[in-house]
Structure 1
Amino acid sequence: MRLATGGCPHDMARRAARFPAPETRAKLAVSTAIGDGLALAEAVGARQAQGLASPAALCPVLLVRWPDGSRGTFPHVIERGKPSLIAVRTDGRRFFHQGLGDQDDVTALLAAPPPGQMP
């Protein structure tokens, strides 16, 4: 049986246990997604699947300053279909092959050495 509960992106203990970079702060989930559905299911014996390629749906997200001065997040989910797109990090180096899927770009970004330490 499967149960969809909205996830746990705002539960730091669960994130630390399952996510590749739990300290990453740019997330699109609503602030009420704290894992309470998971906790209720676990209380009656349910368990989360293990061995998944990723415990979340990942996409590149930038922290941006909007024209009104406020700060927010901007997901990059449609740019990949644009011709001649080359994704680079802040040091201008390419970090993955854009022909791969969304999960692959975030996984490659999280696994890449910090800018300045790349060969």
Structure 2
Amino acid sequence: MFPHAPTGTEHYSAAPKTNTGDGIRLGESAGGVMETGYPAAGAWAPVSLVPRSPVENAHFPHLLERAKPGVIAVTASGRRFVNEADSYHDFIQALIDTTEPGQPPQAWLICDHRFLRRYGLGHAKPFPLPIAPHLRSGYLKRGRTPAELAMACGIDASALQQTLDHYNQHARHGEDPAFGRGDTAYNRIQGDADCTPNPCVAPIEKGPLYGVEIRPGSLGTFAGLRTDASARVLAADGFPVDGLYAVGTDMASIMAGRYPAGGINLGPGMTFGYIAANHIKSRYTSFTHEKPAS
């Protein structure tokens, strides 16, 4: 259970539904303990809910288009809250931090028709794929003007207009003084090199405008079983549980609840899988070379 999802229904993981923590429970049953002190227990990611049926939604992670020029994120207040081109983890952490206590974290990605047809918006794909099914399902909202889009999304119309006016004033020159979007190599790598002078910034001016609702989600967890440098699971007393190893997201992340780069669940998983295998091999080799008792 995450603090921003007290009932368990306010968080939408992009992980398979069958990923239910069985490995961690097995580790705990053998004496391992969970790491619970990280500032973020999950590798956060913005997720939109794609209708599959009247009672079921797919969880679509927004990993790529947020850094493209010509899209912003706003809350229902109509205000931006983050550098949209920062990591997906930082994006959701900013949304959680800006949400009033007791309110569900919720935001909207807003773009114009040019952006939608060039880059797509979430599950709504670029031209030539059709957007009509997403409009009919309600996944994609549309308005001829900012006021119409605000009404369709439930956003403060006056504030959204002010936000767009301020953003566009600087975006026409490739600037984002509010959040410094495009100022770092991390931002620019996901931008559009054909957009100059800033591959991450362009105005949002020509209707119709579109919006997709964003909710907090995750790609994996940072919290997991405590381990030592050899990937051995630690018990409550700090000593290894004999013969028990953990890697991947069953292991408490070495990033300690931070997200410095994409793939930060994959890299440590591969690395500590290698370390654990070599440690097991060294133990097995030492056992098989022991001299028999006389």
Using structure 2 for the length normalisation, give the TM-score: 0.29
* Partner residue in 1 for 2:44: 58
- Using the TM superposition, give the Cα deviation of residue 63 of structure 1 relative to its aligned residue in structure 2, in angstroms: 1.1
**Gap regions ≥5 residues in structure 1:** 1-14
Residue aligned with 2:83, SS: coil
Structure with the bigger percentage of strand: 2
* Partner residue in 1 for 2:3: 20
* Partner residue in 1 for 2:86: 100
* Aligned equivalents of 2:86, 2:64: Cα separation in 1: 14
- Using the TM superposition, give the Cα deviation of residue 99 of structure 1 relative to its aligned residue in structure 2, in angstroms: 4.3
* Partner residue in 2 for 1:88: 74
Residue 40 of structure 1 pairs with residue 23 of structure 2: no
- Assess, with a 3 A threshold, how the Cα gap between structure 1 residues 53 and 79 changes in structure 2: closer, same or farther: farther
Structure with the bigger RCO (C-alpha within 8 Å, sep 6+) is 2
AA of the residue aligned to 1:28: A
* Aligned equivalents of 2:73, 2:16: Cα separation in 1: 27
Residue aligned with 2:82, SS: coil
* Aligned equivalents of 2:39, 2:87: Cα separation in 1: 12
* Aligned equivalents of 1:31, 1:108: Cα separation in 2: 26
- Assess, with a 3 A threshold, how the Cα gap between structure 1 residues 91 and 72 changes in structure 2: closer, same or farther: farther
Residue aligned with 2:13, SS: coil
* Partner residue in 2 for 1:74: 60
- Using the TM superposition, give the Cα deviation of residue 97 of structure 1 relative to its aligned residue in structure 2, in angstroms: 2.3
**Contact 2:67-2:84 within 8 A present in 1 as well:** no
Using structure 1 for the length normalisation, give the TM-score: 0.64
**Count of paired positions:** 98
* Partner residue in 1 for 2:167: none
**Deviating 4+ runs (over 4 angstroms):** none
Q: CA RMSD, aligned part only?
A: 2.6
* Aligned equivalents of 1:71, 1:34: Cα separation in 2: 18
* Aligned equivalents of 1:26, 1:36: Cα separation in 2: 19
